[in-house]
Structure 1
Amino acid sequence: MTGGGRAAGGTADRGTAQVAAAARQDVVEARRVVVKVGSSSLTTAAGGLDADRVDALVDVLAKTREDREVVLVSSGAIAAGLAPLGLARRPRDLARQQAAASVGQGLLVARYTASFARYGIRVGQVLLTSDDVSRRTHYRNAYRTLDQLLAMGALPVVNENDTVATDEIRFGDNDRLAALVAHLVRADLLVLLSDVDGLYDGDPRTPGTSLVGEVTGPGDLAGISIGSAGRAGVGTGGMATKVEAAGIATGAGVPVVLTSTVHAADALAGRPTGTYFHRTGKRSADRLLWLAHASTPRGSLRLDAGAVRAVTERHSSLLPAGLTGVEGDFTAGDPVDLLDEAGHAVARGLVNFDARELPRLLGRSTRDLARELGPAYEREVVHRDDLVLLRP
């Protein structure tokens, strides 16, 4: 495995000298912070929560919360449920993962509740699936819940709703969930904590490998081999998912610090620890980031050349007249990919018709459809407000 996977004390740090206090002024000035912690930082190797590790993290977050708002995205529900259910490792099948999450989620929140209570802090549990935030009304509800918890002085503890999430509506890992939550709550900073102390330019066990102190953009990642899952075997993420999450967050205007949980206090104080990812894009207030990064398409629509130009260049809605084909089994409100004539996905959107309805609408004007089938058919196949362009 390369690109990280363990703390590597004693290796030379590349870029650390350049990360002066001013370079992390965004960290110091952040008023609303999302902190994500991985399963391996909270649990024992055999499964089950490590109370001392949880308390150590809570000590840092309680201190941070004295002058900031904090949202915690916490893995660990499935891992916490392994030992109580007699499971030696994280199961591969979804049903047993859901069972472990059902047992572990209660244990995880109970542990956080007790630990934060030492500081007089109440916690509120928020469980999400991608459907909760890619659909317009659900997105607004998720934002209102989190914002109200913060306004009332509670600390939200967010996790994927593993007990009911299916393969089609899973985020896949909590690194990506954390990046999207940072966008949802309009955070000023995202801190990714795990058993990895930053991004390395190779396997940290190899002599001469260095920590990458800061990343100003995608170009800084050229030539870096990014590894996969960690060693503990209780989580789903690895360095690749953390770098992907950092890209999502920084592209939405949120800077990111990636470091190990033992360095959480330094990271939140703006001290030069781990890897600092500079923001690369501007903050946006819409939910389309979720549609692009958190949804799984249930089907696809093929567009003619004119419709592709209308969607990608004029940012128009997709009308039936531009459709040439339909693939998949989906219902109204599901995410679908919009394909050009070569079969490349150029956009993703929430469709307004069931798959079985669309074949008779192909290439026809909304006026003709309304006259023949009724006014309910005089509408867009995908409205521009429910559509996001995909990067090539």
Structure 2
Amino acid sequence: MTVSATRRAVAAAQRIVVKIGSSSLTTAEGGLDAGRLTALVDTVAKRVAAGGQVVLVSSGAIAAGIAPMGLRRRPKDLATQQAAASVGQLTLAHAYASSFARFDIKVGQVLLTADDVVRRGNYRNAQRTMNRLLGLGVVPMVNENDTVATSEIRFGDNDRLAALVSHLVGADALVLLSDVDALYDGDPRRGGAKVISEVNGAADMVGVDAGSTGSSGLGTGGMASKVAAAKVACTSGIPVLLTSSDNADRALGPADVGTAFAATGARLSARRFWLAHAADASGRLWLDEGAVTAVVKRRRSLLAAGITATEGAFDGGDVVELLDPAGKVVARGVVAYDAEELPEIIGRTSHELPAEQRREVVHADDLVALK
């Protein structure tokens, strides 16, 4: 396989985030597969011994709790999932700690909810903690805190979590490990599907059917979520390698396996990344064509004159989505007005407004355009 610039970047990454899926760590019955976990730890330890820093985003907490709790399959109701996670998190953390101890490497467990990256203060706290762990030579083992997360504040899958963590820690690359060796242009189980070895932009994804759900019954991601996670990372300046856990040694070595996603955007500041991908939007503002051009192409502040309609109950300081006339989200930003203040000023130029209402609705420093 030709070693592209993207693969060379992944191979040379000093700080790398590795995400491993449930199906790659557990048996069909739901218990932890000690052999698979040991093989993964051996590979990560090799990377650390070579001077790299690794953050491990590990699924498997709920799956690891299935067998000890006497459950026959992954529970569907939230309460039983949280109970399984409570048991499984302890089992999973102990297994990792024991395995890494063979190499005298310490592991720190970091449990996150979506709230921890949605709320700016929590985001900064998580960032400081992760950077300190890495500075101390510890391998952070990150997972969604399934024990306390509710259906309203879940990441949905650890692929997205891994992409967010990659930016949070300033990673040089993201490696997504699952039970599929690469991205295909169709379902590889049906025959005739071809491997897509390099994705250098949106054009390489035209006609690709990534599906929508996983097939193992243990995870919640599937190829669609991995592609979405890769897009989040790549558009923020982080290259991604997608392959199977069986290829982990090559993925964390020469990176000559799987599918490589090139970084297609500039690395955003922590605040702009948070605005674009992590923060929850509390409302929407519809813009006219002139405002879209000013906000997206010229990176100008959004003024009241360019807004045609509003939606949602938001307060000044909340994050809102900005939509073009066709209803497409083109940007996100921190709004300076409460929702009830806007109807009387939208569509009006600054000289038509009283002095106290002439400030920007969304300031350029608090705004990020979306690709």
- Normalising TM by the smaller chain, what interval? 0.7 to 0.9
C-alpha distance 162-203 of structure 1, shift in aligned 2 (>3 A): same
Distance 2:326 2:198 in 1: 39
- Which of 130, 145, 149 in structure 2 is aligned with 1:146? 130
- Once the two structures are TM-superposed, the CA of residue 232 in structure 1 deviates from its matched residue by 1.5
C-alpha distance 132-386 of structure 1, shift in aligned 2 (>3 A): farther
C-alpha distance 326-222 of structure 1, shift in aligned 2 (>3 A): closer
Once the two structures are superposed, residues 287-343 of structure 1 have per-residue CA deviations (whole angstroms, 9 ceiling, x without a partner) of: 323432344433222345554444334423335565454322344544321234444
Question: Does 2:367 align with 1:384?
Answer: no
One-letter amino acid matched to 1:112:
Y
Could you tell me the TM-score, scaled by structure 2's length? 0.86
Aligned to 1:350: 334
Aligned to 1:6: none
C-alpha distance 229-92 of structure 1, shift in aligned 2 (>3 A): same
- Once the two structures are TM-superposed, the CA of residue 369 in structure 1 deviates from its matched residue by 6.5
C-alpha distance 333-168 of structure 1, shift in aligned 2 (>3 A): farther
Distance 2:337 2:77 in 1: 32
Q: Which moved more, 1:292-301 or 1:268-277?
A: 292-301
Aligned to 1:5: none
Alignment RMSD (CA, Å) = 2.9
Aligned to 1:273: 257
State how 1:144-183 maps to structure 2 within 5 Å.
Answer: 144-183=128-167
Distance 1:117 1:166 in 2: 33
Q: Secondary structure at the match of 1:384?
A: strand
C-alpha distance 316-168 of structure 1, shift in aligned 2 (>3 A): farther
C-alpha distance 87-331 of structure 1, shift in aligned 2 (>3 A): farther
Question: Does 2:197 align with 1:217?
Answer: no
- Which of 68, 71, 81 in structure 1 is aligned with 2:55? 71
CA contact (8 A) 2:241 2:255 kept: no
Question: Does 2:104 align with 1:120?
Answer: yes
CA contact (8 A) 1:134 1:287 kept: no
CA contact (8 A) 2:118 2:280 kept: no
State how 1:1-392 maps to structure 2 within 5 Å.
Answer: 16=1, 19-20=2-3, 24-66=7-49, 67-304=51-288, 307-320=291-304, 322-356=306-340, 358-359=342-343, 362=346, 380-391=360-371
One-letter amino acid matched to 1:335:
V
Once the two structures are superposed, residues 150-189 of structure 1 have per-residue CA deviations (whole angstroms, 9 ceiling, x without a partner) of: 1111111112233333444332211122122222222122
Q: Which moved more, 1:237-246 or 1:127-136?
A: 127-136
Identity of aligned residues (%): 61
CA contact (8 A) 1:133 1:290 kept: yes
- Once the two structures are TM-superposed, the CA of residue 264 in structure 1 deviates from its matched residue by 0.4
Distance 1:257 1:342 in 2: 34
Q: Tell which has more relative contact order, 1 or 2 (C-alpha 8 A, sep 6+).
A: 1
Q: Secondary structure at the match of 2:188?
A: coil
Q: Which moved more, 1:328-337 or 1:358-367?
A: 358-367
Distance 2:355 2:64 in 1: 55
One-letter amino acid matched to 2:295:
V
Q: Which moved more, 1:84-93 or 1:358-367?
A: 358-367
* Structure 1 unmatched runs, 5+: 1-15, 372-376
CA contact (8 A) 1:82 1:100 kept: yes
- Once the two structures are TM-superposed, the CA of residue 134 in structure 1 deviates from its matched residue by 4.3
CA contact (8 A) 1:255 1:277 kept: yes
Distance 1:169 1:144 in 2: 22
Distance 1:115 1:30 in 2: 24
Distance 1:58 1:243 in 2: 25
Number of aligned residues: 369
